[in-house]
Structure 1
């Protein structure tokens, strides 16, 4: 498959990454759900925008109970988003325009509908098939481990009536964790990585990497064995490809994330999670020290590695990496409406967080682009899209892209009732007021 002209193995160090969800971008077949054909139609827009890499949220077959992060088949395309031929056409056209492609490699867990789990729950205890996941006869193991989704989960264990045992899950209870102590699991995940790299994917975001290994007496985060797994995965990548990239999602302090780079032999990139809330804190307090302090605390990383920096993404604006007092302050300042709060974060887009103040939006974007690291932009933020706190979970920041003032914001010609989520329609951020077409015609617009 055609590759971008630049063969620079360090392309990710000066990239501009644009994050999008296939279902939210553009609907080519007018069934109410965005698809790969629609994304391919909009590649010229993305090229003109000046971004150099596209990060696609999960597009694999899935029950969609966690927006695709509950994967039921790693090597296929969800039928709502198109066929494998559509992905290949998209990859070919993106590369023709010099755009790199980053996809998700969700290696910590699967859906409970994945064939691996369905086989495991019916297999004999101690068998190779059973050991694809983490099982226990009791829910009293690993008690030192925190619960991540405190709003929905009461335990990291859940009873499975088919297996007659508890299985381990760090996220939702329908997402059982894979058991990387099993050699078969590593081989299976390695084959998934190779499958997509062979199809032309340039980089892979490794979801939830701190939680791959479980050991009694620990908090089950950042364990040494996790880094051995990542080193092996990196060796598998480098053995066959010279210009691909692994991006770690590790919501940890910089000194802990440092280990995910290894000696330049683990992940090429990692998100700088603690920087993001401190940018918002600095703005709220009109004080530079939250930003300068965390930048000063950020350790040097290997020459071939890079931080990924961001203002918003598809999840809540996480406040895990601040003190309780700082979290309360940020909640009160940016999420006085409690409906905007989720878990330990805020489920709002950039423009509403800034109360649609253009000066503040430009200030934060200027700060982002001046930070050490590769910037990651979230779809729609380039035009100042709004959100909908009345939608459940994180759906309020995952609404359809607003292309024009036409039907459904130009996203789809489908009956509005068929859309995967309703577009934003309020008088301030609605698609009649905020859209690409209008801003493209205005020299002074955000776009």
Structure 2
């Protein structure tokens, strides 16, 4: 007959909890702004400590392993949920976790001191843990935060195994209390199997969390690679990539989009007269002002130096020109203070609309907008010019 050493199983559970806490501690220290790792570190540590306390059942006062140990296990489950919320950039539900844990601890104390019933304790613990795990599953699978990635599916599946385990334990406990199940207490074999399934579910869930973390870090790296360090807007690489995708979409649908190319007038005078720090501040001011006057779907990018661009999906050249004129007027009104002086400037804008003749080359469209910008500069600056609809060859010299 197969024999399960319950003591060894408990040791394996404790070791896995402590090992996971060490993993998340390293992740938290390596990525200090990844606060979800801190919650998962605390959750794994609390679960490991709770399992260690449960190991002393029968050797010390039952309040320690039953109430304190299970309470720590519930806190571990709750912190796992809090980590998911934090990874999704949502507030951690610490008060809810503490409320559920405190209620379960009180109920466990009653069923230990006043009315000793292991079956009721199983139901209480399973119900409280299932609520925490269930809410975690909802947040894991939230589509708004990419809840269909492999890591999310693995973590949610493992949580589902734990929920099924808790449901089965509760059903057997209720049947035992009602007398419909002749087995009063689980055998060491059954208890060991329950612990092994729980440990397997927890380990797979943590593996899913790790994959979710890798997806988040990879997404942040991609975002940083496409961001201008100074202004926080998109850089030239990201702009060209998105613009190329928009060209392909317009070829497929026939619907146009437009781009602006923006240049700060006499920007060199700001740098020479007030220093490069003032020039950097004006670049940031322009970026903030442009963001405030553009739509949420518009992409603002810094192409380099004092040149910016805007991609406006589903926008005709006429409507883009209206937006550009509003932006020109807005920049004309904003200033910054530098050493008691007021620093301001204007912008020149060139607008170009995608047409089928442009094809899928974003550089052609940028060249059109750049030619329009050149005309604005020659016409006295502080204004907007719309490019002709005919494409040009990239690199063709500008007309004088």
Asked which structure has the greater RCO (Cα within 8 Å, sep 6+), the reply is 1
TM-score by length of 2: 0.22
From the two aligned structures, give the one with the greater helix fraction. Answer: 2
Max Rg structure: 2
